[in-house]
Amino acid sequence: MSNSLPLFHVIAGKPVIVVGEGEAGEARRRLVERAGGVIVGEDNAEARLAFVALDEPEAAVARLKARGLLVNATDRPDLCDFTVPSLLERGPVQVAVGTGGVSAGLAKWLRLRLEALLPQSLGALAEALGASRAELRKRYPSGAERRRALDSALEQGGPLDPLDPDSASRVANWLAGVTAPVPGTHEIHLRSADPDDLTLREARLLGTADLICHDAGVSDEILARARADAIRCVLTKGQNIPEISGTKVILRAP
Does the annotation mark 108 as catalytic? no
Catalytic annotation present for 151 = no
Comparing 228 with 47, the larger pLDDT belongs to 47
Model confidence band, residue 130 (pLDDT cutoffs 50, 70, 90):
very high
Whether the Cβ atoms of residue 168 and residue 125 lie closer than 8 Å to each other: yes
**CATH architecture, range 85-118:** 2-Layer Sandwich (3.30)
| Catalytic-labelled residue, pool 81, 196, 215, 220 | 215
Query: Could you tell me the residue ranges of all domains in the chain?
Result: 8-83, 85-118, 122-177, 185-252
Contact criterion met (CB below 8 Å) for 94 and 111: no
Class for the domain spanning 8-83: alpha beta
The answer to whether the 85-118 and 185-252 domains have the same CATH topology is no
Q: Where are the beta strands (DSSP E) in 148-225?
A: 185-189, 211-214
Confidence bin at 1 (pLDDT 50/70/90):
low
Q: pLDDT tens, 9-36?
A: 999 999 999 999 899 999 999 999 999 9
The fold of 185-252 is: Cobalt-precorrin-4 Transmethylase; domain 1 (3.40.1010)
Q: Which residue type is seen at 141?
A: P
Reported as a single tens digit per residue, the pLDDT across 84-111 is 999 999 999 999 999 888 888 999 999 9
pLDDT digits (tens, 9 = 90+) for 231-250: 999 998 877 788 887 889 99
DSSP conformation letters of 19-67: EE-HHHHHHHHHHHHHTT-EEE-TT-SS--EEEEE-SS-HHHHHHHHHT
The torsion region of residue 188 among left (phi > 0), alpha (psi -120 to 50) and beta comes to beta
- Alpha-helix runs per DSSP H in 39-170: 58-66, 104-117, 122-131, 133-139, 143-154
250: three-class secondary structure by DSSP = strand
The mean per-residue pLDDT over the stretch 159-172 comes to 93
Q: Which helix (H) or strand (E) holds 70?
A: strand 70-73
Q: How many CA atoms lie within 13 A of 216 on its CB side?
A: 3
Q: Say yes or no to pLDDT of 5 above 90.
A: no
